[in-house]
Amino acid sequence: MTTDGLTYAGRLSDFAAGTCHRVRAGGRTLVLIRHGDGVYALDNRCPHMGFPLDRGSVDDGILTCHWHHARFDVTTGGTFDLWADDVPAFPTTVVDGDVWVDLRNGRDELAHHRRRLRAGLEQNLSLVIAKAAVSLVEGGADPREPFRIGLEFGTRYQSDGWGPGLTVLTCMMNLLPHLPPEQHARALFHGLSNVAGDSSGSPPKFEVGPLPDAPADPATLKRWFRRFVDVRDATGAERCLLTAIQAGTDQAAIADMLFAAATDHRYLSTGHVLDFTNKALEALDIAGWDLAETVIGSLARGYADAGRMEESNAWRRPIDLVEILEATFEDLPDILAADIKPTQWDGRADLIDTVLGEDPQAIADSLTDALRQGADPVELADAVTQAAITRVAQFHVTNEFGDWDRALHTLSFANAVRGGLARSGSRELVRGIYDAAMSVYLDRFLNVPPARLPSANGHTSGAELLASLPDLLDRQQQVDEAAGLVVDYRATTAPVESLLESIGGNLLREDRDFHTIQAVEASIHQANLSDDPADATLALVAGARYLAAHAPTVRSQGQTFQIAQRLQRGERLFEEAPA
């Protein structure tokens, strides 16, 4: 019975003081609690895991759920345990001994879940993050909103700066266009939880700030930035970046500053510095460049602290790759400054074969020759990336398992070089093409012997193939089988987007793994860029093989997400009989 917006809940005399009473009113299940001089109505589902709160107990005005012992103020529904969330509370009125409840919830649900997302990030609470992601995305929020919250949090509360968590978050946003809408919240959950895990236990990153009234000359700031990175001075490097941003330096020039310093030394931190930089810039494209100071500033420490491959034995012995590169780089400024008429470069296939070969001097010379012939640096970077794809696609499973990561580092770095050149046209970044090619060369033993690339087996139903992929990934090390499935699918007339959706969706089934997420995102990106169907297929073979090598995982994170989704949708994890 409802009157003037109030719903009848029962007689006051029916509710004994200090006890919990389950009531059905207006299609909702409530718990009514008589405490002191009042009677209070709360939603009967514990917001943590949905356990009926009427099975709990009240002591001194505190309601305790008996499953995980979450505690709530009976008068407001507010929780004392941040992992639980507040219980929706409804005003009550007593008229002539009758209890009436106002079920009109005036809470701004989207604002509430934004706050809960921040709390989940701060406390590293996966279930809270999952519930917030589901509630925001399924509640109509733009996915960029929770992404932006995670980006701001991760760049402010991780003293070491940009790291794997923020990279995973950006990879997930890049994958959203290839996932069905019902998977968007799950992708964000993976990224946001990774950010929370990276930041957990870390001191915050304190602001450095730009130089006061500093000159706004981008060339000077770029020179200083490179100098400070060279001497491993993270604070000086960061102040140069922030000064350039505050002075209004355009985005391409900011990127050029970063790319120059990222390639002043060889293959910094096995490619992570450039990959992180590329992802940070992509994140700003998504979230907005008004966050540039915190996002770009978070990169500086990684630049200053990075390992430099000129200090590593592998790049120095038995062949001194650094010496080859330094000699080659002496000619680059003149080559890049020369007025060479752009040509229709047709040496891609030959270059890929050379990069996959065993002569580092020939690799360097081939790249230089292509530049002299008028090849676009982006074309060269794309060819080297395809060579890196080949290393993963033909990675033999007799290798040490950890060597998958070695091949992946090269691919991620090459992909970042290509993305950076397409973004800014940085002349210094052209050196990254050579670094990536040398890393492909160093990975050559991972293809000894090369894994055999499968041939199509005549399947005609793409839908049946995709339906079999989850079962295949339920078994360990189905690497060649996953590759064969991709090749068979590409031989059908089924749309490639369905294959990308399937690969991405199966990635989300697994527990988060930084390198697997990188591999799948990079392979899908490279496949989308390719005009050659064979090259696109090879890229997807590489991604599928990497995913299959690292599946199945425990998939505990998927269970967490499913619980959050069921709770948000109002499903009953615990069936209640009508009152």
Q: To the nearest whole number, what is the mean pLDDT of the chain?
A: 94
Distances in Å between the alpha carbon of 207 and those of 239, 293, 300? 10, 10, 12
CATH no., domain 2-97? 2.102.10.10
Take residue 249 and report the two structure tokens written for it.
């330096």
Take residue 283 and report the two structure tokens written for it.
């994140």
Q: Considering Cα of 438, then 441, then 442, then 443, what sign does the dihedral take?
A: positive
Distance CA 247, CA 528 (A): 36
Distance CA 458, CA 78 (A): 61
Indicate the pLDDT class of residue 2, thresholds 50, 70 and 90.
low
pLDDT at 575 over 60: no
pLDDT at 107: 81
Distance CA 85, CA 47 (A): 6
Distance CA 251, CA 317 (A): 39
Element at 507 (helix H, strand E):
helix 496-509
pLDDT at 571: 78
pLDDT at 460: 80
pLDDT digits (tens, 9 = 90+) for 471-529: 999 999 999 999 999 999 999 999 999 999 999 999 999 998 999 999 999 999 999 99
pLDDT at 579 over 70: no
Among 46-50, 213-217, 219-223, 403-407, the least confident range: 213-217
Take residue 475 and report the two structure tokens written for it.
């078994």
Which residues make beta-bridge pairs with 23?
Answer: 30
Q: Calculate mean pLDDT across residues 157-170.
A: 96
pLDDT at 1: 65
Looking at residue 1, the DSSP 8-state letter turns out to be: -
Q: Calculate mean pLDDT across residues 278-283.
A: 98
Residue 284, classed as helix, strand or coil, is helix
pLDDT at 410: 98
The residue ranking higher by pLDDT, 4 or 171, is: 171
Q: Calculate mean pLDDT across residues 461-465.
A: 94
Burial of 330 (0-12, 13-18, 19+ CB in 10 A): exposed
pLDDT at 91: 94
pLDDT digits (tens, 9 = 90+) for 425-450: 899 999 999 999 999 999 999 999 99
Beta strands in 458-529 (DSSP E): none
Take residue 89 and report the two structure tokens written for it.
């509370």
Which residues make beta-bridge pairs with 387?
Answer: none
| Domain ranges across the chain | 2-97, 109-199, 462-558
Looking at residue 26, the DSSP 8-state letter turns out to be: T
Q: Calculate mean pLDDT across residues 73-87.
A: 94
Nearest 5°: phi and psi at 440?
-60, -40
pLDDT at 289: 97
Looking at residue 264, the DSSP 8-state letter turns out to be: S
pLDDT digits (tens, 9 = 90+) for 224-273: 999 999 999 999 999 999 999 999 999 999 999 999 999 999 999 999 99
Which residues make beta-bridge pairs with 116?
Answer: none
Say if residue 218 is preceded by a cis peptide, omega within 30 of 0. Answer: no
pLDDT digits (tens, 9 = 90+) for 347-365: 999 999 999 999 999 999 9
pLDDT at 573 over 90: no
pLDDT at 366: 98
Residue type, position 510, single letter? E
Length of the chain: 579
Indicate the pLDDT class of residue 115, thresholds 50, 70 and 90.
very high
Indicate the pLDDT class of residue 157, thresholds 50, 70 and 90.
very high
Take residue 276 and report the two structure tokens written for it.
């992180």
Which residues make beta-bridge pairs with 41?
Answer: 32, 90
Q: Within 13 Å, how many C-alpha atoms sit on residue 237's CB side?
A: 24
Residue type, position 547, single letter? L
Take residue 389 and report the two structure tokens written for it.
């794809």
Nearest 5°: phi and psi at 18?
75, 10
Angle between helices 251-262 and 218-230 (to 10 degrees): 30
Take residue 133 and report the two structure tokens written for it.
């992601």
pLDDT digits (tens, 9 = 90+) for 313-338: 999 999 999 999 999 999 999 999 88
Looking at residue 174, the DSSP 8-state letter turns out to be: H
Take residue 302 and report the two structure tokens written for it.
């990684």
Burial of 212 (0-12, 13-18, 19+ CB in 10 A): exposed
pLDDT at 105: 74
Q: Are 62 and 80 in contact (CB under 8 A)?
A: yes
Indicate the pLDDT class of residue 215, thresholds 50, 70 and 90.
low
Q: Calculate mean pLDDT across residues 97-116.
A: 90
Take residue 139 and report the two structure tokens written for it.
């509640």
Element at 6 (helix H, strand E):
strand 6-11
